[in-house]
Amino acid sequence: MNNSLDYLAYPVIVSNHRQTTTFRKTLDFGHYISHKNRIQIVKPAVDTKPPMAHTHHILKLSKLQGEQRKIDKIEYENKQLCQKIANAHRGPATVDCWNEYFSKSLNRETRNRELVRITVENQGILKRLGDRKTYYDHRLSEIDWQNSRRYIRNTTKYLLCQDE
């Protein structure tokens, strides 16, 4: 070994008798020689094998299951949309977004019957009015109106209208 580095590797001050520098030197020198022999025997070799492949790193089943669920959901939604499009093409053009409100009245039938009764009564009154003869003569009322206008014209200083 290199004697110039001995003072660094083997200190002079020793705490007990088992750590003597000469004994330690011989052991280290023996290990050094055996290591040197092993290095001389070694032949260069390159490991060309691929690294070990672990299947749980390559084939992730939970990821595949999640992807399959997504694909199934997309296919289901596509099927629903195709059915809606087919129904729209097949059937008549109708509005499918009516806000239908159903009356929740408890006396609906009663109100309908009352409405029908009132309508029938009104039609009867209208028929009776159409059948009646008038009590007054419209020619006489026209003459009376003209007389009253004439009296007003005669008694007023100014005319009521320009055309009269």
Give dist(CA 153, CA 101) in Å, integer. 64
Whole-Å CA distances, 29 to 106, 109, 124:
112, 118, 138
Question: Tens digit of pLDDT for each residue in 69-78?
Answer: 999 999 999 9
pLDDT of residue 1 exceeding 70: no
**Higher per-residue confidence, 53 vs 12:** 53
**Which of 51-55, 136-140, 144-148: highest mean pLDDT?**
144-148
Question: Tens digit of pLDDT for each residue in 125-145?
Answer: 999 999 988 777 888 899 999
The average confidence (pLDDT) of the chain is 82
Tell me what pLDDT residue 162 has.
54
For the ranges 37-41, 63-67, 85-89, 125-129, which has the lowest average pLDDT? 85-89
Give dist(CA 1, CA 21) in Å, integer. 14
Whether the model clears a pTM of 0.85, i.e. scores above it, the answer is no
DSSP string for the chain: --GGGHHHHS-S--SSGGG-HHHHHHHHHHHHHHHHHHHHH-------SPPPPPHHHH--HHHHHHHHHHHHHHHHHHHHHHHHHHHHHHS----S---------TTHHHHHHHHHHHHHHHHHHHHHHHHPPPSS-HHHHHHHHHHHHHHHHHH-SS-SSTT-
Whole-Å CA distances, 117 to 91, 125, 126, 128, 131:
41, 12, 14, 17, 21
**Higher per-residue confidence, 162 vs 34:** 34
Structure confidence at residue 26 as a pLDDT band (50, 70, 90): confident
Tell me what pLDDT residue 7 has.
46
